[in-house]
Chain A
Amino acid sequence: MRKIKEFIIEKLILICGIASIFFVVLIFLFLLKEGLSVFNIVSPFNFLFGKSWYPISEPPQLGILPLILGSLLVTLGAAIISIPIGVGCAVYIAEVAPGKIKEILKAGIELLAAIPSVVLGFIGMVTLVPLVKNIFHLPTGLTALSGSIMLAFMAMPTIVSIAEDALYSIPKTYKEGALALGATHWQTIWRVMLPAASSGILAAIMLGIGRVIGETMAVMMITGNAAVIPQSILAPVRTLTATIAAEMGEAVVGSEHYFALFAVGIVLFFISFIINVTADLFLHKKQ
């Protein structure tokens, strides 16, 4: 009797395990099947490096270079803002902050992570966008810069919490060893703790960037959504994610436009995949 029970439970767990992989594979196959058909109409090279995205003109022009550059620009901007602040914040929390402030900051970071992205986008739209417009005297504040700033807020909780974990997991002995040699607190942090935690911190950065690349709602609301190659960080851009979200609803099923949007999904999938694998490599290097 016990053996039968054991058997059933084992098989149930097995099914759960297989199911999760099965669904992932299914999604991936569906994405490939729908997306790859676009290459009957346009070559992979022209798709990735074509400069114009006019999916509903006749004949449709399906070049996603402006979208890729839009995503990269916004991500780069967000990374430049969020990495120094995020890592600095992690160092402060892990090493410098006295007990109470540490608790308050950690709670604040968790709260930041809990804000839905559409709310952040909305707040950005009514506060940040007019500010950017006025500061730089632009015709519109819906720019890549606004998107970068908003996305930096979204990447920050990931970066801070994972980088902080990495700093905590350094053996206490490193710190004492350095201090016992007469190093100052800051020298210890800069020359010993940060290098020792570097793989964990890099993983934190990669995961933060991964979150930024995949983010849709907030960027759609505040980057202006102009599918042209951006000339500067103060120009409106459109990202890969925003394109899918904005256009999928109106694309006719089975049309070139429809397939092209799936192909955009494949591109996004690969970018995220590469980032996650890189982050994973860094995390495993640590162990």
Chain B
Amino acid sequence: MVIFDIKNLNIWFDSTQALKNVTMQVLPHEILSIIGPSNSGKTTFLRILNRLNDLNARFKMNGDVWFNGQDIKKVDVELLRRKVGMVFALPLPLPLSIFDNVAYGMKMAGVNSRKRLAQVVENALKQAYLWEEVKDRLGESAFKLSGGQQQRLCIARTLAVEPDVILFDEPCSGLDPISTAKVEDAMVKLKEKYTIVLVTNNVKQAARVGDRTAFFLSGELIELDKTEKIFTVPQDKRTDGYIRGKFG
């Protein structure tokens, strides 16, 4: 079984090509890390998977992206985004309380029972390793949390809508090492239930948590293989150069 099946994907923003002929698969219950220098198309690729690029009027794509056997261009976009959650680079709580931030997605989906919401919120916060720190102040504004806590809140918010896949877009770029370690721990636990695609600028992070790693360069997929292989015996010398820090 394959979660995402991507074939000959080409992306343009106006006349600039952002992705060139990418063909790859995302497998169930793996952490797929995507590494590469900036402007290599990593984030663009990630935002294809939940169709967030659609917001950009200059966006054009051709090629096929299949999600659980369905063409993502044909599925209902709100449903797709509920199944494919996303955690952004900067933690972006909504201007609401901690509880309402986590409950937000469920409410949008039409769940209104207080009991059910309370249960879902507690569960999601536990899975994101945040429950113990916030359980006594769920009514406070989410902006009062620290950066690391806000990022875990965003993870909880994504989990609350019960997705199949979680996309992480450089989730630790604004966090200190301790918060980063907590988020990474959460990711490793989460892959038991979910499939994770992780875009990261931190090569070591990919090595720590990724099952497979893909290396993008200037919009092309250079190499995709098991993480140990990419980091020990890469097939392409550009991959080797990047992970050794020769450019990037």
Other than the given A179-B52, A179-B55, 13 more pairs (CB < 8 A) read A174-B95, A176-B92, A177-B92, A177-B94, A179-B81, A180-B86, A180-B88, A181-B157, A182-B109, A182-B161, A183-B78, A187-B108, A191-B104
> Within 8 Å CB of A171, what residues of B?
92
**A197 closest partner in B (C-beta):** B95
Q: Does B158 contact A (CB under 8 A)?
A: yes
**Nearest residue, chain B, Cβ from A176:** B52
Query: Is A132 interfacial (CB-CB < 8 Å)?
Result: no
Are B78 and A182 closer than 8 Å at their CB atoms? yes
22 examples of A-B residue contacts, CB within 8 angstroms = A173-B90, A174-B94, A177-B94, A178-B104, A179-B55, A180-B50, A180-B52, A180-B86, A181-B104, A181-B105, A181-B108, A181-B158, A181-B161, A182-B78, A182-B79, A182-B81, A182-B82, A183-B104, A183-B105, A183-B108, A184-B78, A195-B95
Interface of A is mostly: helix
Interface positions of A from 147 to 204, Cβ below 8 Å from B: 171, 173-184, 187, 191-192, 195-196
Pairwise interchain contact B88-A181, C-beta atoms closer than 8 A: no
Bound-complex Cα distance A10 to B95 (A): 44
- Among all A-B residue pairs, the 5 with the closest Cβ atoms: A182-B82, A181-B105, A180-B86, A173-B92, A183-B108
Q: Which residues of B contact A99 (CB under 8 A)?
A: 57
Are A181 and B95 in contact, with the CB atoms below 8 A?
Answer: no
**Least CB separation from B76: chain A residue:** A182
Neighbouring A residues of B95 by C-beta, 8 Å:
174, 192, 195-196
Residues of B61-108 whose CB lies within 8 A of A? 78-79, 81-82, 85-86, 88, 90, 92, 94-95, 104-105, 108
Contacts of B55 in A (CB 8 A): 175-176, 179
* Docked pose: A195 CA to B58 CA in angstroms: 28
- B88 near A178 with CB under 8 A, answer no
Closest residue to B160 on the A side, CB-wise? A181
Residues in A with CB closer than 8 Å to B82 are: 181-182
User: Contact: A178 with B52, CB < 8 Å?
Assistant: no
Q: Which residues of A contact B105 (CB under 8 A)?
A: 181-183
Report Cα–Cα, A191/B52, bound state, in Å. 19
Nearest CB in chain A: distance from B180 CB, A:
20
B110 nearest CB across to chain A (Å) = 10
Tell which of A98, A179, A195 has the most Cβ of chain B within 10 Å. A179
Whole-angstrom distance between the alpha carbons of A273 and B81 in the complex? 48
- Whether the pair A180, B78 counts as a contact (CB closer than 8 A) is no
- Residues of A contacting B79 in the complex (Cβ-Cβ under 8 angstroms): 182
User: Distance (Å) between the CB of A191 and the closest chain B CB?
Assistant: 7
A181 near B90 with CB under 8 A, answer no
Complex CA–CA separation, A154 to B104 (angstroms)? 38
Complex CA gap A181/B101 in Å reads: 11
A18: shortest Cβ distance to chain B, in Å? Answer: 41
Contacts of A174 in B (CB 8 A): 92, 94-95
**Alpha-carbon distance A195/B55, docked complex (angstroms):** 21
Distance A177 CA – B86 CA, assembled complex (angstroms): 8
**In the complex, residue of chain B having the shortest beta-carbon distance to the beta carbon of A180:** B86
Do A177 and B88 touch (CB < 8 A)? yes
Q: Specify which chain B residues have a CB less than 8 angstroms from the CB of A181 in the assembled complex.
A: 81-82, 85, 104-105, 108, 157-158, 161
Q: Which residue of A lies closest to B100 (CB)?
A: A191
Give the CA-CA distance A98 to B109 in the complex, in Å. 27
Chain A residues with CB under 8 A of B81:
179-182
A32 to chain B, nearest CB (A): 43
Chain B residues in 8 Å Cβ range of A98: 57
Expressed in whole angstroms, the Cα–Cα distance for A180 and B81 within the complex equals 6
Which residues in A have their C-beta under 8 angstroms from that of B94? 174, 177-178, 192, 196
Q: Which residues of B (18-61) have their CB < 8 Å from a CB of A?
A: 50, 52, 55, 57
Query: In whole Å, how far is A241's beta carbon from the nearest beta carbon of chain B?
Result: 39
Query: Cβ of B90 and Cβ of A182 under 8 Å apart?
Result: no
Closest residue of chain A to B89, judged by CB? A173
In whole angstroms, how far apart are the Cα atoms of A173 and B92 in the complex? 7
Report the separation of the CA atoms of residues A182 and B83 in the bound assembly, to the nearest whole angstrom.
8
Residue of A171, A180, A184 ringed by the most chain B CB atoms within 10 A: A180
Return the contact of B88 from the options A173, A184, A187 (Cβ within 8 A).
A173
Give the Cβ gap from A282 to chain B, nearest Cβ, in Å. Answer: 15
Neighbouring B residues of A183 by C-beta, 8 Å: 78, 104-105, 108
A174 to chain B, nearest CB (A): 6
Residues of B within 8 A of A180 (CB): 50, 52, 81, 85-86, 88, 158
How far does the alpha carbon of A195 sit from the alpha carbon of B97 in the complex, in Å?
13
The closest CB in chain B to the CB of A183 belongs to: B108
Residues of A within 8 A of B90 (CB): 173
Q: Closest residue to B107 on the A side, CB-wise?
A: A191
